[in-house]
Amino acid sequence: MTTQLLVIRHGETAWNAEHRIQAISNPAFGHGFRQAARLAERLAGENVDAVYSSELARAWLTALPLAERLGLEVVPEPRLREPVFGVFGD
């Protein structure tokens, strides 16, 4: 038996589109909502046992549609948070 780990980056935020560093900021999610919905559709038939996410809005909002589609809860995991980049990150 093998374990498969899927690592998925959060959906696009307004700051991604502007090529800005986000770190722990929570800019508008925008296009990321559609990306998260497509992700949930794409993985709906997969054998997924758990969905983990940092508590940052962009990551949580990406994970939530998939978890709901699979009948799972999103498990908060602070260690998945992006690092703070000092004056460049927030």
**Which residues belong to the active site?**
10, 82
Residues 6+ apart with CB under 8 A from 3: none
Interior angle at CA 57, CA 52 and CA 63, nearest 5: 35
